[in-house]
Structure formats: structure tokens, C-alpha cells
């Protein structure tokens, strides 16, 4: 029996992925390499699966949050072992890929909503702070650190992550209000590699080693130092950009 031509054919997974790739928003110049070349393509496939399953972008945001906050709870509550560390890393990486999927799904469905964007940003803000505070709790409870002063590292990381996230969100808001005429144009492939230590995806990968403190503690400290240095350089630059935006 032939199919009724008036009934649209159901898209397959590959077709949806192709449509998502065509509708992909332009990447910001110099964006971190992992987020662009790994996380976004993986998120595209999650978005295609969610689209075929009939999920909404807000539902995908909620699923992303479930993976991420499950990992954060394990960091704070479960003694670290190599297997636990791998589980934490995989949960965080999956949550991050799903975080990339909700916006792509919204564009595929015709555009997002202010409520959806608000929810996405609030979840991101919560995870960035609580992730590092969970490290502080986990280290205090389970890890024999060389010095108690190292407990200040996750505390400092939480502050740096929150400030950078808020600054970047505010940058986007003020640039859009200005008509987008002063958006960033500098940077490219090399810059994408240079800023890899500031990529949240790289932090997620680092948590694969959480169960081996002899590896994770110095690695986490290096990522904190890189993010703090980036903040010291980026925040004055962004402020100068804002002074050029008309009031």
C-alpha cells in the first residue's frame, strides 16, 4: 500500500541531525575548542533524539540538570575512588552535552523563549557555583590534602567561575541592547586552543581523575590558576568594551 502523499514523512535521526547542523548558530570567534568541536556536535545528536522523542527544550534542560547535579552530589557525599571519578566525569560530560542540546532543540522547533533562556542560565549559574563548593566539601571530608590551605582553591574557583559567567551573560545582554554592532571579532582557531583551560568541558574531563587525588588536586589547581589568570586579563578588557557602548 502506498503512503498517502498528504501525510508528511517522519524524519529519521540523520535527517534531523543534518537540519540541526544547517540551523546551527554562528560560533563566537575564539570560543573554547572542546565546546565547539566536541560538545556542540554531541549535543546536536542529543537534540535530534529529543526532537524525535517529542521533548521540549525545558525538558532537556531539566535532564541536563539531573545529570550534572547527580555528579555534584556524588562529589560531596561519596568517598573518591577511581571508578567513582570516572562516573562523575561521565555524568558531568553528559550533562554538558545536554546543556548544548536544549538551545539547538529550541532553534529546531522555531526558536526559544525568554523563560527557556532564563531557566538555562539559572541552572548554569547554580551548577558552576555548587560544583566547586562540592569539591570543597569532598576534599574536606575524604581527601588527605598536603595542606589545609588547598581548601581555598575550590572556594576561589567558585568565585572566579561565578564572576566570569555573570560577566559573559552581561556582555551578551549589553551587546544585544546595543544592536550587536560591537560584538567580538577577534580570535580564531589558535585562540580556541589557548583558552581550552577555561572551557567547562575540559573541567568535566578533569573530573574523570577525581578518584585519584594525587592527579586531580594539582590538575584542578592548574585549571583554577588558568581561569583566574583569564579573569584578570578579560575583565578589564570587557569593561573597556562596555565604555564604548552608547548609554
pLDDT of residue 29: 56
Rounded Cα distance between 97 and 87, Å, is 15
Q: Map residue 4 onto helix, strand or coil.
A: coil
Whether residue 33 is contained in a domain is answered as yes
Whether residue 2 is contained in a domain is answered as no
Task: Write out pLDDT tens, residues 75-96.
Answer: 999 999 999 999 999 999 999 9
Q: What's 197's domain CATH number?
A: 1.20.120.1760
Choose among 142, 158, 140: nearest CA to 150: 140
pTM of the predicted protein model: 0.88
Res. 8 pLDDT band, cuts 50 70 90: very low
pLDDT of residue 114: 87
Whether residue 51 is contained in a domain is answered as yes
Check pLDDT > 70 for residue 213: yes
pLDDT of residue 186: 43
Cell of 38: 566536541
Q: CA Rg, the chain, in Å?
A: 20
Whether residue 5 is contained in a domain is answered as no
Is the Cβ–Cβ distance between 147 and 180 less than 8 Å? no
The per-residue pLDDT of the chain, averaged, comes to 87
229: number of Cβ within 10 Å: 13
Whether residue 122 is contained in a domain is answered as yes
Choose among 66, 65, 99, 71: nearest CA to 86: 71
Instruction: Provide mean pLDDT across the span 144-171.
Output: 96
Is the Cβ–Cβ distance between 80 and 210 less than 8 Å? yes
The contacts of residue 63 (CB under 8 Å, 6+ apart) are 98
Choose among 131, 104, 148, 82: nearest CA to 16: 104
Surface-to-core class of residue 156, CB atoms within 10 Å of its CB (0-12 exposed, 13-18 middle, 19+ buried)? middle
Whether residue 153 is contained in a domain is answered as yes
Range of the domain at 92: 13-19+28-243
40: Cα separation from own chain's centroid: 10
Is the Cβ–Cβ distance between 121 and 169 less than 8 Å? yes
Total domain count, the chain:
1
Is the Cβ–Cβ distance between 200 and 35 less than 8 Å? yes
Rounded Cα distance between 108 and 14, Å, is 14
Among 42-46, 60-64, 95-99, 194-198, name the one with the lowest average pLDDT. Answer: 194-198
Length of the chain: 247
CA dihedral 185, 224, 43, 207 (to 10 degrees): 160
Whether residue 35 is contained in a domain is answered as yes
Whether residue 48 is contained in a domain is answered as yes
pLDDT of residue 27: 58
Task: Write out pLDDT tens, residues 184-206.
Answer: 444 456 777 788 889 999 999 99
Rounded Cα distance between 184 and 70, Å, is 35
pLDDT of residue 175: 85
55: number of Cβ within 10 Å: 18
Q: What is the DSSP letter of 2?
A: P
Amino acid at each position: 500500500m502506498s503512503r498517502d502523499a498528504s501525510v508528511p514523512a517522519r524524519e529519521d535521526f540523520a535527517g534531523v541531525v543534518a537540519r540541526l547542523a544547517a540551523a546551527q548558530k554562528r560560533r563566537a570567534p575564539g570560543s573554547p575548542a572542546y565546546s565547539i568541536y566536541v560538545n556542540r556536535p554531541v549535543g546536536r545528536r542529543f537534540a535530534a533524539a529529543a526532537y524525535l522523542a517529542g521533548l521540549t527544550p525545558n525538558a532537556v534542560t531539566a535532564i541536563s540538570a539531573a545529570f550534572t547535579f547527580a555528579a555534584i552530589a556524588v562529589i560531596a557525599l561519596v568517598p573518591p575512588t577511581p571508578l567513582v571519578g570516572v562516573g562523575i566525569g561521565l555524568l558531568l560530560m553528559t550533562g554538558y552535552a545536554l546543556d548544548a542540546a536544549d538551545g539547538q532543540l529550541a532553534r529546531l522547533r522555531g526558536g526559544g523563549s525568554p523563560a527557556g533562556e532564563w531557566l538555562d542560565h539559572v541552572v548554569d549559574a547554580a551548577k558552576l557555583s555548587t560544583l566547586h563548593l562540592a569539591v570543597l566539601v569532598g576534599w574536606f571530608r575524604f581527601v588527605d590534602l598536603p595542606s589545609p590551605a588547598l581548601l581555598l582553591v575550590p572556594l576561589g574557583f567558585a568565585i572566579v567561575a561565578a564572576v566570569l559567567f555573570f560577566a559573559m551573560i552581561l556582555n551578551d545582554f549589553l551587546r544585544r541592547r546595543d544592536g550587536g554592532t560591537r560584538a567580538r571579532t577577534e580570535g580564531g582557531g589558535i585562540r580556541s586552543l589557548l583558552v581550552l583551560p577555561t572551557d567547562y568541558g575540559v573541567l568535566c574531563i578533569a573530573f574523570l581523575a577525581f578518584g585519584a587525588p594525587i592527579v586531580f588536586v594539582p590538575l584542578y589547581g592548574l585549571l583554577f590558576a588558568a581561569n583566574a589568570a583569564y579573569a584578570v586579563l578579560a575583565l578589564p578588557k570587557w569593561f573597556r568594551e562596555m565604555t564604548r557602548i552608547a548609554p
